Amino acid sequence: MDRMFFQDKRVVIMGLGRFGGGLDSALFAAKAGARVLVTDLAGRNDLEDAICELKDYDIEYRLGEHCEDNFHNADVLIVNPAVPPDNKFVKITRKAGGLVTSQMELFFQMCPARIVGITGANGKSTTTSLTAHLLKSACAQQGIGYKNVWLGGNIGYLPLLDIVDQIRDDDLVVLEISNFQLEQLAQIQAAPDIALITNLTANHLDRHGTFECYCCVKEGIFKYQKTGETAPVISIFNAEDDITRAWYQKYLNDPGRKCLAFSADDVPDEYRQAFRLPGRANLSNLAAALTIVSCFDIESGCIAGAIEAFEGLPHRCQFVAETNGVCWYDDSKATTPVSTMAALNGIDEPKILIAGGYDKQISFAELGVCIAKRAKAVVLIGQTAPKIAEAVKSVGPSDCAVRYADSMEQAVAVSAELAELGDVVLMSPACASYDMFKNYTQRAEAFVDAVKSLPRH
Ligand code: ADP
């Protein structure tokens, strides 16, 4: 597969979206000389930014709806990860003999470099960026046998297809791979040379149905690794997670494969002290990144220095402000109960939690127990507010007050009323944002704006 393949082909981009590579795919196809049509259920207003970036290219749009004819006539359909493989329009292209592919599949088919891929339920972005940061520092300071280290994938820093021509075979690519992208890679049975799973907990059950189906998709990152090449593939598992520990055993004796496992307990003191991110979950992310780094020949002094310089990512337990003796933290990226529990357990001060959002059909039972135990109050917003309230109340009597709010601004105001000197207000919703916001970034902005406009006394 190369750029030439796309010349003069009718390429349909399904889902321009705000994430997920629709824009990258459209640019790539247009530059490769394809006749490009972009179709999206969202309207022009919602997609304005992406459309503006495509303005120099001759691209057709079908927005606010999908039209069967477009799918029937596509030579190539590049599908956004948010579209399930059994989508009825995707089936039309397949049936008509068109090629159905995705940004991630195309990248794997065209990238000449060795790929490190990271997936998991939680901690993917932190682990991926930390891994790339450590490898990049080592690459600059002492060399690691690769010319450049690239960071991209679900983390969204790089338009993968647009830059694939700049990637050389002696470079290294570090990718965050979402479950939806893994599902797409499974279509071509592709997986990274070095694969790591951070952990496994129920997520995206609205799309995958059962936890078993979800796990099955995740296992693809190991199952489709190409053993039998000159260098063994490397598979890295979380030793603290029951399912991935079982996978470690399952794959351990596979010829052409090296299996490694990581645990937060194994992080040496020297690195632990240098690390600035709070909580055990982040220590697990560090352990994961260090295990990848251990596959390269890097001096420990170089690693410790780079760990110290790592500041973490925005919207993951990020300090926002201190108002009237209360500290406010933005953990908008916590879109699963496990992430929110990690944040609640990682902060020791008395906490008021702002939670709730889009309903992904995940159980809040465990989160309810954790909130009742670790929070002095919870202010609930969004679709899942009643479910989370029920989960907290069903634990039995606790000191945790339950309140509701209709907007983020109101949630911040209610939290400010409840908070006392020395408290922490943590916006860690345990849910996706789509019921009230465009995405988690917009949710964070609403939170930060509301916090910044609180009266000070
Ligand atoms: P992902 O990319 O998988 O969504 P991130 O690294 O962006 O994960 O972190 C999202 C949120 O999940 C953070 O706000 C943090 O509170 C929580 N988190 C981070 N690492 C872990 C982990 N290893 N286990 C559980 N929760 C985590």
| pLDDT value of residue 334 | 94
Q: Are residues 208 and 273 in the same domain?
A: yes
- Answer yes or no: do 301 and 331 share one domain: no
Q: Looking at the predicted structure, is the pLDDT value of residue 90 above 90?
A: yes
Mean pLDDT, rounded, for 185-191: 96
Share of the chain above pLDDT 90, in %: 82
Same domain membership, residue 277 and residue 205: yes
Q: Residue 259: what pLDDT?
A: 98
Atom of ligand 1 nearest to the CA of 127: 6
- Read off the pLDDT of each residue in 212-231 and give the average, rounded to a whole number: 92
Domain CATH code at residue 82: 3.40.50.720
Angle between helices 280-293 and 337-346 (to 10 degrees): 110
- 164 lies in the same domain as 263: yes
Q: Which of 61-75, 193-207, 323-337 has the least mean pLDDT?
A: 193-207
- Could you tell me if 337 and 205 are in contact, meaning their C-beta atoms sit under 8 angstroms apart? no
Residue 213 has a pLDDT of: 87
Name which residue leads in pLDDT, 314 or 386.
386
Which of 103, 124, 159 delimits the end of a domain?
103
Q: Could you tell me if the CB of 403 is within 6 A of ligand 1?
A: no
- C-alpha pair distances (Å), 217 with each of 94, 148, 235, 381: 21, 30, 16, 31
> Does residue 90 fall inside a structural domain?
yes
Question: How far is Cα 375 from Cα 247, in angstroms, rounded to an integer?
Answer: 35
Q: Which atom of ligand 1 is nearest to the CA of 129?
A: 6
Boundary of a domain, candidates 262, 279, 309: 309
Q: Please tell me the predicted confidence (pLDDT) of residue 211.
A: 86
What distance in angstroms lies between residue 423's CA and the mean position of ligand 1's atoms? 23
Query: Ligand 1 center to residue 439 CA distance, Å?
Result: 16
CA of 285 to the centre of ligand 1 (A): 9
Dihedral angle, C-alpha 291, 294, 298, 303, nearest 10 °: 20
What is the rounded CA–CA span in Å between residue 169 and residue 185?
21
pLDDT top residue among 116 and 318:
116
Same domain membership, residue 202 and residue 74: no
Q: Are residues 131 and 250 in the same domain?
A: yes
Q: How confident is the model at residue 349 (pLDDT cuts 50, 70, 90)?
A: confident
The structural domain count of the chain equals 3
pLDDT recorded at residue 18: 63
- Of the candidates 197, 12, 164, the one whose C-alpha atom is nearest the C-alpha of residue 92 is 12
The 351-355 sheet, strands edge to edge? 318-323, 326-330, 424-427, 351-355, 375-380, 401-404
d(Cα 159, Cα 166) in Å, to the nearest integer? 12
- How confident is the model over 8-40, as pLDDT tens digits? 999 999 999 765 579 999 999 999 999 999 999
Residue 2 lies in a domain: no
Mean pLDDT computed over every residue of the chain: 93
CATH of residue 276: 3.40.1190.10
- 261-270 long-range contacts (CB < 8 A, ≥24 apart) are 261/236, 261/237, 261/291, 262/236, 262/237, 262/238, 262/287, 262/288, 262/290, 262/291, 263/238, 263/239, 263/287, 264/240, 270/300, 270/304
User: What's the pTM?
Assistant: 0.87
Do 394 and 255 have their domain in common? Answer: no
pLDDT attached to residue 189: 97
Closest CA to 271 of 298, 240, 238, 237: 298
- Res. 450: pLDDT tops 60: yes
H or E stretch covering 304: helix 300-309
pLDDT at 311: 82
Write out the residue range of the structural domain in which residue 438 sits.
318-452
DSSP state of 232: P
Tokens of 146: 């690769």
Nearest CA to ligand 1 atom 26: 339
Q: Do residue 48 and residue 134 come from a single domain?
A: no
**What is the band of 216 on the pLDDT scale with cuts at 50, 70, 90?**
very high
- What's the pLDDT score for residue 19? 58
Looking at the DSSP bridge assignments, the partners of residue 262 are: 238
Task: Give 235-255 pLDDT, tens digit per residue.
Answer: 999 999 999 999 999 999 999
Is 80 part of a structural domain of the chain?
A: yes
Three-state secondary structure call for residue 234: strand
SS3 63: strand
Q: What's the mean pLDDT in 412-431?
A: 97
Q: Do the bridges between strand 194-197 and strand 149-153 make them parallel or antiparallel, or are there none, so unpaired?
A: unpaired
Q: Three-state SS for 99? A: strand
Same domain, yes or no, for 153 and 53?
Answer: no
- Residues 144-157 pLDDT 10s: 999 999 999 998 77
CB distance 343 to ligand 1 below 6 Å: yes
**204, pLDDT greater than 80:** no
Testing ligand 1's pocket by substitution, the residue of 127, 175, 275, 316 carrying the most ligand atoms inside 8 A of its CB is: 316
Query: Which residue's C-alpha comes closest to atom 7 of ligand 1?
Result: 125
Q: Tell me: pLDDT of 270 over 90.
A: yes
Share of the chain above pLDDT 70, in %: 98
Determine, yes or no, domain membership for 3.
Answer: no
Q: Tell me whether residue 64 is in a domain.
A: yes
Q: Are 148 and 171 in contact (CB under 8 A)?
A: yes
Spatial CB neighbours of 148, under 8 Å, sequence gap ≥ 6: 139, 167, 168, 171, 172
Residue that is written with structure tokens 């997936």 in the block: 119
Taking the centre of ligand 1 as the mean of its atom positions, its distance from the CA of residue 126, in whole angstroms, is 7
pLDDT of the residue at 230: 81
CATH of the domain at 349: 3.90.190.20
Asked if residue 170 and residue 134 are part of one domain, the reply reads yes
Instruction: Indicate if 284 and 174 belong to the same structural domain.
Output: yes
pLDDT at 46 over 80: yes
Sequence-distant (6+) residues with CB within 8 A of 407 are 381, 436, 446
Are 443 and 388 within one domain? yes
77 falls within a domain: yes
Average pLDDT for 303-313: 91
Give the Cα-Cα-Cα angle 48, 50, 54 (nearest 5 degrees).
110
Segment 315-331 shows an average pLDDT of 92
Final residue belonging to a domain, choices 309, 333, 363? 309
Evaluate if residue 281 carries a pLDDT over 80.
yes
Contact yes or no for 315/333 (Cβ under 8 A): yes
What is the predicted pLDDT for the residue at 1? 83
Q: Is the dihedral of CA 127, 128, 129, 131 positive or negative?
A: positive
**Any domain includes 4:** no
Which ranges of 152-238 would DSSP assign to H, the alpha helix? 160-163, 179-187, 205-208, 211-223
Domain for residue 457, yes or no? no
